[in-house]
Structure 1
Amino acid sequence: MITYMFPGQGSQIKGMGENIFSKFPELTQKADSILGYSIEDICLHDRQKELNQTQFTQPALYVVNALSYRHKIQQTGKKPDFVVGHSLGEYNALEASGGISFEDGLKLVQRRGLLMSQAPLGSMAAVLGATGEEVEQLLKKSGFDAIDVANFNSPAQIVISGLRDDILNASQIFQEAGKQYIILNTSGAFHSRYMESSKVQFEKFLQGFSFSKLQIPVISNVTARPYVQSEIAANLAKQITHSIKWTESIRYLLTQGNFEFEEMGVGNVLTKLITYIKAQEKPLEIKKMSDNWTVQEKVDLWNSTHPIGAKVSVIGYKSQLETRTEAIILFGHRAAIYMKGYNGYFALDEVTPA
């Protein structure tokens, strides 16, 4: 099995997409029409030094990621089993899964980038050699309660986010603790409480969009679990102020089988993080469905994670069975699924993926 990964802000580089725009002239022209400028010109030449400005960075990465994914599918003729994206890259994952069109995804990303660029001035820093728990404890112990953890990138790479002076002053406590502290070249305190205004405005903008049924499971940055169809818009808004649970997302995928991971777009930042995660931490143990889950939650989770035709074990049957349908709510109160070769539905509580 294979997971395709889409990088986010920070991966941009002048010249990205050099060999890809000419392969998809129609989509490139659509992007130009939506954005009001030449996306190819910014990516390849960046004459006005705009590529590193958030309102331009995000659309540029989205387009390069999307075209790279299409090129990969053309080459292989096969789609991935899962998709996941880091922050901005999550929009590419949703587009690759069929949840949004290329055009709608670009419109969302354009507005997201603009709103995030208008947020109060802030800063971010990477802490190397510390776990998320250690970072949080150091911040709390030292009185830096106004700093949030933005990214859990790997078990030993954490990014924090806050007001510029706080991020500068926090350097000392981490250096004294023997941790490497790198202030990042960002214009805002992304994925923190300071993006609340951007989140509220983006929620309103999201109301003008609808999302199609996901054809490939997409792992959410917010929950580190497969997207639930009914919660796509809410997750996209929440992601702006919420920590990116990259480590936990990858650990979840590692529990789903023997996966290969391939990075789309530009760079290999996510590929390196996969290596660190595999080397430093065991896969996450996934809890089974709980009795206190609602019937709808059980159905949504199953359908977002397991395709029709999945091999399963069922209580009372020695051999594996194969699903024939998606899970449904039966008789208004029972989460159930139909199996091949059996004239009837099986309760999801009695079904376990093989």
Structure 2
Amino acid sequence: KKSLLLYLNDSNFKSKIDYYDEKLKSVFGFSMIKKCLEEEDDIALRRNQHFTHGMLFIYQVSLYFYFIEKTKRVPDIIFGVSCGEMAAAFCSELISFETACYILYNRSCLLSKTISFNGASIATRLNEKQFLEEYLPQFPDLQIIAYISGRSSIIGGKNSEILKFKKQLEDKNIQCMIVNEGACFHTKHISMIKDDILQLEFEHKKPITKVMSNVNLKFFNDTDNKYDKYHLYENLTNPCRLLQTYQEIFKYAEDNNYTNVIINELSPKSFVSGTFIKEDIVPTTSFKYLSNASIHVIPTNNITDMETIHNNINNLIYLSDNL
């Protein structure tokens, strides 16, 4: 809800949000903005798959085009994590708006069926090796659902098991935080809706901006890495690979003789930061040409106010003009 501060205080951004909100209203049957303003229970909002899918999409898409309009810069590569991959697909013109609506609605309906699983996920200060060696033997039904960095990951599974796991981490003073309750995103349990997902049919085309899959770490195209129903299932059942995606982007930059890389996250809640990239991801990557000094991260405090967004815009313009 804090993200609405930007919506309420910038007429340009508000007009974009309202445009997409009205379009999605004809698909979902309600206004995302109105529901966000009127619903007092944040937990209920987060568990509502129709709302979270629709609201995240219109916010991220509006923010993307807002930045392009203000900075006059178009990124070389974009990618989205989990639900954000649909926003990235639309912004790159990999899929049409109508197709995005179709996927959003059906994905949210199908994921709503998994709420009965009573799943949960927890962000931890554990890397893959630590989890597999020290905790998986005790919790064989838990699995990594997101590789965040060389020092952190998100673990998913049954809520009852996650709570036991959380207790062990807390007893050892290991940082952790429950980040989702209800569904079983990015786990093997998504197989319960596999047949339904593979009945979906939609079209895609060659994107105008390179967009990388957060699942297989390849650029989407219209031949051998299609954005189709099979990929949609892979997106839901496989872990998010934030760490590996950044590593692949850095490799692409070096292979194409980039001397600098600018990272700009567009999300209502910041997931990356300069410190995070430089301390948690860069050390896991082998560089030939790039260095810590040539990787620039736009300050990514949560984008909820005009000062933050204007600072980000000014920094992006300055860096792209002077590097």
TM-score for the superposition, normalised by structure 2:
0.75
Distance between the aligned counterparts of 1:178 and 1:157, measured in 2?
14
Counterpart amino acid of residue 213 in structure 1: K
The 2-side partners of 1:235 and 1:58 are apart by 18
Partners of 2:135 and 2:204 lie apart in 1 by 39
Aligned partner of 1:153 in structure 2 is 148
Equivalent position amino acid for 2:277 in 1: I
For the structure 1 residues 283 and 145, does the alpha-carbon distance in structure 2 shift closer, same or farther, using more than 3 Å as the test?
A: closer
Pair 25,108 (structure 1): closer, same or farther in 2 beyond 3 Å:
same
From the superposition, tell whether residues 138 and 75 of structure 1 become closer, same or farther in structure 2 (CA, over 3 Å): same
Q: Which runs of structure 2 are paired with 1:214-229 in the superposition (5 Å)?
A: 214-229=207-222
3-state secondary structure, aligned to 1:186 = strand
- Bigger Rg, which one: 1
SS of residue paired to 1:66: helix
1:31 alignment partner in structure 2: 24
Q: Deviations over 1:98-148 (max 9, x none)?
A: 1111232122122212221220211111112x2122112223332x11111
Change (3 A) 1:177 1:225: farther
Q: Work out which of the residue numbers 166, 175, 192 in structure 2 matches 1:171.
A: 166
Deviations 1:21-45 (CA, angstroms, capped at 9, x unpaired): 3246543321221221112212444
**Structure 1 SS opposite 2:79:** strand
Partner of 1:212: 205
Map of 1:316 onto structure 2:
none
Deviation at 1:13, TM superposition (A): 5.0
Residues 66 and 81 (structure 1), Cα distance of their counterparts in 2 relative to 1, 3 Å cut = same
How many percent identity over aligned positions? Answer: 21
Who is 2:72 aligned against?
A: 77
In the TM superposition, residue 56 of structure 1 has moved relative to its aligned partner by 1.0
Letter in 2 for 1:27: Y
Count of residues in Structure 1 that have an aligned counterpart in Structure 2: 270
In 2, Cα distance between equivalents of 1:198 and 1:101: 25
Question: For residues 268-308 of structure 1, what are the alpha-carbon distances to aligned partners after superposition, in whole Å with 9 as ceiling and x for unaligned?
Answer: 22x33x6313213436459xxxxxxxxxxxxxxxxxxxxxx
Q: Deviations over 1:222-268 (max 9, x none)?
A: 12232343432122221101000001101221221321111224232
SS in 1 for 2:102: helix
8 Å contact from structure 1 (residues 161, 189) kept in 2:
yes
In structure 2, the CA distance between the partners of 1:12 and 1:157, relative to structure 1 (3 Å rule), is farther
Q: What is the letter of the counterpart of residue 91 of structure 1?
A: M
- Other-structure match for 2:283: 282
- Counterpart-to-counterpart distance in 2, 1:110 and 1:253: 30
SS of equivalent to 1:174: helix
For 1:22, the equivalent position in structure 2 comes to: 15
Instruction: Name whichever structure is richer in strand by fraction.
Output: 1
Partner of 1:263: 265
**8 Å Cα contact 1:31/1:103 also seen in 2:** no
1:1-354 correspondence runs (5 A): 17-18=7-8, 19=10, 20-23=13-16, 25-46=18-39, 51-52=45-46, 53-119=48-114, 120-128=117-125, 130-142=126-138, 144-175=139-170, 177-205=172-200, 207=201, 209-230=202-223, 231-233=226-228, 234-255=230-251, 256=253, 257=258, 258-269=260-271, 271-272=272-273, 275-280=275-280, 281-282=282-283, 284-285=285-286
Q: What RMSD in Å do the two structures reach over aligned CA positions? A: 2.5
Change (3 A) 1:27 1:164: closer
Q: Quick one: which amino acid aligns to residue 207 of structure 2? A: L
- CA shift, 1:47, in A, is 5.7
Q: Distance in 2 between matches of 1:104 and 1:123?
A: 29
What stretches of structure 2 of length at least 5 have no aligned partner? Answer: 288-323
Between Structure 1 and Structure 2, which shows a larger proportion of helix residues? 2
Is 2:146–2:154's contact at 8 Å kept on the other side of the alignment?
Answer: yes
- SS of 1:159 mapped into structure 2: strand
